[in-house]
Amino acid sequence: MLQTSPASVIDAAPKPILQLVGVRKTFGTFVAVEGIDLDVIEGEFLTIVGPSGSGKTTLLRMLAGMDTPTAGNITLHGTLINDVPPNKRPTCLVFQSLALFPHKSVGENIAFPLKVKGVNAARRKARALELMKLVRLPEDYHDKNVMKCSGGERQRVALARALAYDPEVLFFDEPLSAIDYKLKKTLEKELKDLHRETGKTFIYITHSLEEAMVMSDRIGVMRAGRLVQVGTPEEIYGAPADRFVCEFLGEVNTIKVRRGLDDNWTGIDVDGSFRLRPPDDGAVLDEALVMVRPEYMRFLGPDDVADNRIEGLVYNEYSLGSRMQYQVRVGEKVMLVELSRGRALRPGADRRVTLGWDAADAFTLGS
């Protein structure tokens, strides 16, 4: 009998739980989702981000069974599920509105899926208490009316109810969008903890870059119905596929340049000669965009060295808590520089400064 060694199990490629091939969704002549190919790995936290109207919610509705693809296939563990209704899938959707029963208690809301399955009252309560502990709700909340809970507590009730279904995949439709900033930061970390503790596959929809970066194993960026890039947060932020992804996932400085001699480039919208990192796709360009994140820009002293430097005038500064952001006028352009407080400039505007950055810290993209 053939035995599999532990090493070969560890080295095996992760299994996709959901696979999308050529998925398309139209409403009349409007194309909402176009040609999506995607493998969702079992047990991962995948977040789909994009601006309003990019198609991310339509994609989620097809994955959850609320809409049927116009073309293409969605498979779960290799079985086609295009026409399988939501209640016949081993999945659960946490709505933005939460959709809790306002007349029921916390425990009754959580245990509702078990009641539908015919589980007896004692086992329903025991399971509800287990799930309340998992989502950090006090045990004495079991009999509390859910409408007397805070917004954050109701979020936890909705999560516990979703887990009561024991789904293989949990879908989240912007569940934190209406919550204040401090509570949102707490729940982001708790969701990530919950994902690790349960081992479930999470697919999360949001327009918030910050939520996606904090929680996700991988991020998919959508634009005009298409997935333009899928990768880890580090890949998406540090090696964007195009200008849209680069600008959508955080602030960035851009400089238009034209190819010169000896691998030097001349600024088109900023005076200067620049050294660039070659484009990641190997393209040969005559004109390009240099894109530099604010945290990779720095102020240079007389003896400081950098691959690239430009002169500017500081005209405003903003406190970001542990960091400071500076706006610097360079000709007609505004450049952003972000520094930790320990490296901050002395307060005061209208200062002449030299900005510098290294070629390896910038992206080179076609203009």
DSSP assignment string, 113-151: HHHHTT--HHHHHHHHHHHHHHTT--GGGTTSBGGGS-H
- Average the pLDDT over 67-94 and give the result: 95
- Interval 280-322: pLDDT, tens: 666 788 899 999 999 999 999 889 999 999 999 998 989 988 8
Tell me which CATH code domain 251-366 carries: 2.40.50.140
Pairing of strands 91-94, 79-80: unpaired
CA-to-CA distance for 286 and 230, rounded, in angstroms? 28
pLDDT at 350: 62
Domain spans of the chain, in order of start? 13-244, 251-366
CA-to-CA distance for 127 and 122, rounded, in angstroms? 9
- Interval 226-260: pLDDT, tens: 999 999 999 999 888 888 998 898 899 999 999 87
pTM for the full predicted model: 0.86
Q: Which CATH superfamily is domain 13-244 in?
A: P-loop containing nucleotide triphosphate hydrolases (3.40.50.300)
pLDDT at 2: 45
- CB of 277 within 8 A of CB of 295? no
Q: How many residues does the chain have?
A: 367
Q: How confident is the model at residue 12 (pLDDT cuts 50, 70, 90)?
A: low
